[in-house]
Structure formats: structure tokens, C-alpha cells
Structure 1
Amino acid sequence: MQDPRLRLLAAVVLSLAAFASTTGAVAVLVWWLIFTPRTKVLPRLGVFLPLIAMIVATALLSAWGGGAGLSYLIRMLALLLLAAWTYAGTEDGEVLAVAVWALGNRVGFEIGLIAEMGLTSLAVLRQEIEQMRVAMALKGIRPGARSIVPLAVTLIVTQIRRSDEIARLLVVRGYAIGGRICPRFSADPRDIPAFLTAIIPGVLSCLPLRDVFILVG
């Protein structure tokens, strides 16, 4: 989707559907396969596979303890794929523009600015992790429990310092609350059908499983 308004709204609807029921999560997976670039929006395997492994391990533990392990696996997989699609398709300034469009130049600007700063921090964090990985490879250090803890502490401290610097910079520039921008959005003819179809998983998630099969039949 090129229109960030429809993309973010579809992501919210689909996330709620995946969280609400297993049926909704399955419908979300089908929607993801049809309306997204699929593997093109996924992060690199070094990041994606560990996340999948953690979800699978948690699902197996849940199933072993008598819980709904399969349902957890399907729901979390759907949410993970949605998050990857949304993050990959979001460009700089889009969240701020959508927030201002929806909530105005005061509240919307504040919420959008916070969201943009969070996304920027994620991008910076990803770059720093990649730099640390390269540095460890050059030094012949293998990732392990002994190296992960100090690296995590370093990343946390760095992010705290960066947040403090940004806060000081906003104060120096006289920022108080709100701001003014003129949001402009581009759209694709396929955005509307994709968004309308995203409502279907939301409807299915509200129906009992037997009613879904009645509708399909």
C-alpha cells in the first residue's frame, strides 16, 4: 500500500484480528500472502530466524504444558509478519503526517513526533547492532552469553544518552508543544481493495469457528 493512512489502519485491523482468534490469524496470513511483497518485506535471516525460533519454542512449551500452543504459534506468526510488512513499508515522516492528518497539529503532531523518534531509534539500533556484529567478526569473537550482556548494556546506555541529547536539542530550539505540517499522501489504485479485504479477517475473528465453516460452505 502506498497510502500510509490505509496501510497503518489496515495493520491495526489485521493485528486485532490476529490477536482475537486463531481463525482471524489464519485469515491474516492469507491476506499477507496475497497483498504484500511477502519475502521482500522480511528482515534478514539473522534477525528473522531467531524470532521464529523463540515463537516456536514458546509454542512448544505451551503445548507441552497443555496450553494452546498451536494457536499461539499461528497468532504470533501473523503478528510478526504484519509488523515486518508495516515497518518495511513505512518511510520517514509518514507516521507524523498520518498523526497530524488524523488528530491535528497539536495532539497529532506530538504523537507523530514520538512515533517518528521511536522508529528512528529502531533504525539506529539496528545499525549499531550490525556494526557490533562486524566488529566482533573482525576480532574473532563469537557471540555468546558473555558477550551479549555487555553489548546489551552498551546499547541501552547509548540509547539513553541519545534520547537525552535529543531532548536537550528540542529545548534549545524552543520546542514546546505541537507543530504545523501539511500532510500529502500518494495512493495506488490497489490500496482500496487491499484495505477493504483487510476487514474480512476482522469479521472472521469475531465469529465462532463453526460459523466460519457455515459461511464458507
Structure 2
Amino acid sequence: MRSQRFLQYKFSRGKRYDPIAQAIAKDAQQRSYERVKTPYYQFRLTAQKRFDHYYGGLLTYQGQAVLNFDIVLGLGEDRQSENIILLRSVFVFPEYRGNGVCSTVLQICTEIADVTGCCIVAVCNPFSVALTDNPDTQKKWLSEGFLLEYEGDYKGEQARMGRRFRKAGFENWDISETIQNKQRCTPNDTFIYVPKNADADFVEAIKHRFLISA
């Protein structure tokens, strides 16, 4: 017959069972589970299936382009929202440019957004990347953010990027408080894609940021 003491306590690896610690751990596990169900995490999980892994946190589209995503910070009431994700960068390797690769990447991103209900933020900020013939070194450089000043017509490329985003269904919105160089990037250079199934309360909270005309 089990003793009263055995019913009160369980031992694991010589440590006494602590019901309070177990309750805390269970609560943390539940919150983690709920977090994974959010549009942001569902977007990331789906993106990992639609794109291939490149290196570190980077994804790739058929080895022709590299992209990565991040959380959105610094938007006041929208800070660390679970309904939005930042398309931090898309880099198409020189030998694949001019073939619609970037447009295809954006199309896949919006398809993921339509499935997960997650909004996508993007900023037109052209950049160059240090290139090397060594594949392993190239992956490391891209992962560590070895970005260079854009070589060429910055404003012209910025305008081309804007046209790509608009064609993909993105809209202009104002997130000026998050932009460090406001002379380079104006509200006309910042975009958001809002899927039809996005959280209604979230969309209502950010609607004042949308520009009437771009």
C-alpha cells in the first residue's frame, strides 16, 4: 500500500516533486504553444516550407535569391505585434537578375500571408552585398549582414522596388518613427501587405498609418 508521503511527493532523479514549479512550467509551455499559433509564427513556419534553408536564419528561393524575416518593433501600440512580420531583405544574385525572381519571391510571401493572416512590412532601401566565389564565405557574409552602400542610382532603384511592391499588392503606410534616415526613406518608400483574413482589431489599430495617396 502506498504511503501518505509517497502520494504527496514524487521523486525524480533524487529531487522532490514540486507542484508549484510544475504549474509554472505547464503555464509557460501553454503560453509557448499559444504563441506558435499566432499569425507571425505561422508565417515563419510556412515560409520555412515554401522556401529552402540557406544559412543561419536566411532562406533562399531556388538558390537564386536570399531573404530573411524579422519582428516589427517601435510602432507604439503595434510594438511586437503577433499579427505582422518584417520582410527585412531580399537579395537576388547578379546572375539571376532581370528574370522576375524578386517578383516571384514577393508573390510567395503574399501567398503565405493570405494563408496565415499575417501582415508583411517592407521598406525600399536598396543595398549591395560583398560577393565572393567561395560559397561558404558568401553564406557567412550574407548571414552576418555584410551589406554595402548601393552602387548605382539609389533613388531609381528605390522607385523600382516600390513598383514591385505595389504590383504585389502592398500599400504605402507611414512608419516614420522607425526610420533612422528619413531623408532616404519617406512614407512613400515604406509598405505593408494586409491579407483579407488579417485580425480586424489589428487592422483597425493601424489604419491611421495608411497613406491616402502614394
The TM-score range, normalised by the shorter chain, is under 0.3
Whichever of the two has the greater Rg, that structure is: 2
More strand by share: 2
TM-score (normalised: structure 1): 0.24
More helix by share: 1
TM-score (normalised: structure 2): 0.24
Larger relative contact order (Cα-Cα within 8 Å, sequence gap ≥ 6): 1
